[in-house]
Structure 1
Amino acid sequence: MKRIGIEVVSGALALALAIIGAIFPISTEEDVNFWIILIGGITIWEGSRFILRNWLRHSSLNGE
């Protein structure tokens, strides 16, 4: 089974967020805070996965 690239996952998340944002527009401060936390959480999650995967690949190539 072919692994899905991080670009595909990030693109799908961005599209899903755009669709949700079109359906439920930002109208209050609570909505703004929700979107900031949601997008920040997804960014941290994807970034940590990317960094961890590259670190593991690098350390396995060096025999560490």
Structure 2
Amino acid sequence: MNYRKLGNTDLQVSEIGFGAWAIGGGEMVGDTAIGWGDVDDEVSKKAIHRSLDLGINFFDTADICR
């Protein structure tokens, strides 16, 4: 895995990140369905563990703001 310095810090983050939005399941904004629907938590956990095994340390966990 390749890493890069994060801004003006000494933190090294993986060049490849894990986008976690899809593991959050379904969500509604008013009457509009967003998100990815039903998810299997066990599959999500396996994906997170595998990414860690591969050296990923950058996780995008941004939530939705209402």
Bigger strand share: 2
- Larger relative contact order (C-alpha < 8 A, sep ≥ 6)? 1
TM range (shorter): 0.3 to 0.5
Larger radius of gyration: 1
- Comparing both structures, which one devotes a greater share of its residues to helix? 1
Q: TM-score, normalised by structure 1?
A: 0.33
Q: What TM-score does the superposition give when structure 2 sets the normalisation length?
A: 0.33
